[in-house]
Amino acid sequence: MSKITVAGAGAFGSALAVALDMAGREVTLVGRNVDAFRSSRDNPRLKGVPIPESITLATELNVTRDDILLLAVPMQALSGYLEQTRPTPKAAVACSKGVDLASGRGPTAIIDDLLDAPSAILTGPSFAADIARGLPTALVIATRSDTGADLQETLSTDTLRLYLSDDPIGAELGGALKNVIAIACGICIGAGLGESARAALMTRGMAEMLRMAVAMGAKPETLAGLAGFGDLALTCTSAQSRNFSFGLSLGGKGPAPTATTEGRHTARAIVKLAETKGVDMPIAKMVAGMVEGDLTLQQALSLLLSRPLTKEWPYAYRTDLHR
């Protein structure tokens, strides 16, 4: 079985490394921060779960065509990281959830542009702490390459169940866009706007995700799966989510988390992309405005609620409008 190298020793990269090591895979965890926990095996990004001695720690990326490379650095760091390291693995699997602000590209497009290796995306509802503790989790591995079945087999464990998809665009946009809607839901709950309003935001947010994804060439059914609906449900309803917690703080409840919050950047990136594609994304626009400090909560709310009354679904499914 292929060796696995995980680049990015933050919460998610470390959690994947631990889960795969527990399942008997040969794992190397690479990160600029690994020296800080090389002897203690206690990574502050993954509190309470020691990094087993069986996982090799490295500060420099060094992969061969025998290795599967999991890329677990934040989205805005991905292209710079690959430009700098130029690895040549058997397959490069992005684990980042977002859209690159500078270029509007998703993670697999960045891999395809920069590496001579098949690209894939690993995404879906999963908190790092749950994966690291071996709690049951279901994810999607999506690729257009013929490495999909091998990746699914190698990266699945007894508790980490991977479903295979041939729609990386849909899968990565599901993971990126749910973060933006989760910020909106956090704002809603933080500001005391109620559970009914959150349900409305999740549902209309799903319509925005679907419109945008289809406009980008994704299959609508991907958005109904783990990478879309599944991750939206998790992230919009759990205070464990950094995106939801960031939203809570924007809504006036609690401090902003200092950890990686992908939706802040993705909101801005997606609003730019939606304008180019002519896709209507009012909730994302409201989130981007509040993140930028251009809109107050009251302004965002009245902009959303004063939109013309419309039909619920036909517009979202009129894919011909967006192709």
Ligand X SMILES: NC(=O)c1ccc[n+]([C@@H]2O[C@H](COP(=O)([O-])OP(=O)(O)OC[C@H]3O[C@@H](n4cnc5c(N)ncnc54)[C@H](O)[C@@H]3O)[C@@H](O)[C@H]2O)c1
Ligand Y SMILES: O=P(O)(O)OC[C@H](O)CO
Which parts are annotated binding residues for substrate? 97, 242-243
CA 196 to chain CA mean position, Å: 26
Residue 107 found at the interface with ligand Y (CB under 6 A): no
Looking at 29-37, 166-174, 264-272, 293-301, which segment touches ligand X (CB under 6 A)?
29-37
Per CB under 6 A, the segment of 162-170, 204-212, 239-247, 312-320 that binds ligand Y is 239-247
Tell the burial category of 192 from Cβ atoms under 10 Å away from its Cβ (0-12, 13-18, 19+).
Answer: exposed
Residue 241 in contact with ligand Y, rule: CB under 6 A: yes
Indicate which single residue of 3, 198, 211, 242 sits in contact with ligand Y (rule: CB under 6 A): 242
178 is a catalytic site residue: yes
Q: Which residues, 155 to 184, sit near ligand Y by CB under 6 A?
A: 179, 182
Distance of alpha carbon 10 from alpha carbon 286, whole angstroms? 30
The CB density around residue 151, as the number of other CB atoms within 10 Å, is 24
For ligand X, which is the closer residue by CB, 128 or 216? 128
Residue in the structure block whose two tokens are 């946009």: 173
Specify the residue, 220 or 257, whose C-beta has the smaller distance to ligand Y. Answer: 257
Burial class (CB in 10 A: 0-12, 13-18, 19+), 95: buried
- Out of 75, 117, 287, 295, point to the residue binding ligand X (CB under 6 A): 75
125 binds, among ligand X, ligand Y, none (CB under 5 to 8 A by kind): ligand Y
Catalytic residue among 3, 178, 272, 311: 178
User: Is 134 exposed, middle or buried, given 0-12, 13-18 or 19+ CB atoms closer than 10 A?
Assistant: middle
Helix residue ranges, H only, the chain: 11-22, 75-85, 107-114, 128-132, 148-155, 168-190, 195-215, 220-223, 231-237, 242-250, 262-277, 282-292, 297-305, 314-317
Q: One-letter amino acid identity for 111?
A: I
x/- contact string, 260-289, with ligand Y (CB under 6 A)? --x---------------------------
Structure tokens at 180: 């933006």
**Residue 97 is a binding residue for ligand Y (CB under 6 A):** yes
Catalytic residues: 178
Q: What does the binding site for ligand X look like in residue numbers (CB under 6 A)? A: 8-13, 31-33, 45, 72-75, 77, 80-81, 95-98, 126-128, 259-260, 262
